[in-house]
Chain A
Amino acid sequence: MELTLAQVRKIDVVSDTVLYPEATALVKQLIEDEECNALPSSQISGLLSIAGANTYTELYRFVLHQRDRNWTASKMDIKKFYTALEKYLSDMVRQRVKAEFRLIPEGLDAKQTKQMTEALMAVLAQDFIQHFVAENNQRAAYVSRRR
């Protein structure tokens, strides 16, 4: 389903005013408050390529899969990252796309709403992950310098 120019503009505004500060805050919470290691570059590459080239359903499936893997004790921080990411994305689908961002037009039936949500989430999730990765990588660079 194609997005309208108005929707694309609105997503750009949401990306700047909501997704960017929230992605920054989420990474800060994980690395500073919960003292997780930054997400390693191998995970970053996978996440970026899935977010950029696939549908939202496939991206969400990837995040779920990574969250539910049996990570070794030394890699439990990766699980924490994917747990936080899954929660953020599913909250956005359930509550925010329609009610808060008001991106779904009135008068669509259930099937159309589902298709529209899928199309919107593909862009919103990609933007969120771009912001998330940028903050993660910046923090990783400073941490590695301190070490």
Chain B
Amino acid sequence: MSKDDKTTSKDNKTNNDSKGINKDMRRIREISIQAETLYEDAVGLGNHAAYAFKDLSRSKRNSHRSQMTGLENIAESGLKTSDIFDYIKKQIARFDYWRKGFPGNQDPNEGFGEALKSFLEGEVKRRRDRICKALDIGDVTDEDKYKRQQVYLQLIRQFIRQLVVQYEYCTSQEEVRENGANVGTGTQNRRSK
């Protein structure tokens, strides 16, 4: 092989690598864009979670925070979307607060777990299809099916991250309000003494 040949082959490799990187970057970008458009829905479900877990004593609330961590963990570590859906179903079965509705919702009786699962299996899946269409990822070859699954997983992960952040924000705001109210009560008590 001549020196020129070597250079050409190296260049081709570099081109192929950069094409691969470009594809990966494009995929990440498309997922981020779609996740961004789902932000309001993540906020809505984060608020629903905070409401569903609200009527609980302070000690129990910590254990419910771990529910959200558990959800985030399974989303981050799960290799399949069905692992996440099975986890949600398991929590719905085990804890009544996962079945608690939200007055502000279109269907106020739909529980948090059911609402989350429906959204992930419905709207998020449609967004996955949109991304795959934009990236020319089909659903016939094994490779494409695997890529579709990965896009879906990454989209779900971003969505759940947003939801958990909103849940934390909502809960902390609630605690600030409660602490403020307690301080107020304390002052009032001291004054009345």
Contacts and interface: CB of A to CB of B under 8 A. Distances in A.
A134 B149 contact: no
B116 to A, nearest CB: 13
Given A6-B142, A13-B142, A15-B80, A141 B99 contact: yes
A140 B93 CA distance: 7
Contact of A16 (B82, B89, B90): B82
Q: Main secondary structure on chain B at its contact with chain A?
A: helix
Given A16-B80, A20-B82, A131-B82, A141 B145 contact: no
A135 interface: yes
B99 A13 contact: no
Interface residues of A, number: 21
13 contacts: A10-B146, A12-B146, A13-B142, A13-B146, A15-B80, A20-B85, A130-B82, A131-B86, A134-B86, A137-B89, A137-B93, A141-B92, A145-B96
Nearest to B152: A16
B81 interface: yes
B74 to A, nearest CB: 12
A140 B152 CA distance: 28
Interface string B43-71: 00000000000000000000000000000
B25 to A, nearest CB: 23
A91 B191 CA distance: 78
Contacts of A134: 85-86, 89-90, 93
Interface string A115-147: 000000000000100110011011011100100
Top 10 A-B residue pairs of the complex, sorted by shortest distance between their CB atoms: A137-B93, A134-B86, A20-B82, A134-B89, A138-B89, A141-B93, A13-B145, A16-B82, A138-B92, A138-B93
A101 to B, nearest CB: 10
B82 A15 contact: yes
Interface of A: 6, 9-10, 12-13, 15-17, 19-20, 127, 130-131, 134-135, 137-138, 140-142, 145
B186 to A, nearest CB: 40
Contact of B89 (A6, A17, A135, A145): A135
A12 B147 CA distance: 12
Interface residues of B, number: 18
Nearest to B86: A134
A12 B79 contact: yes
Contacts of B146: 9-10, 12-13
Interface of B: 79-82, 85-86, 89-90, 92-94, 96, 99, 142, 145-146, 149, 152
Contact of A19 (B82, B145, B149): B82
A131 B99 CA distance: 19
Contacts of B94: 137, 141
A17 B86 contact: no
Given A6-B142, A10-B142, A145 B80 contact: no
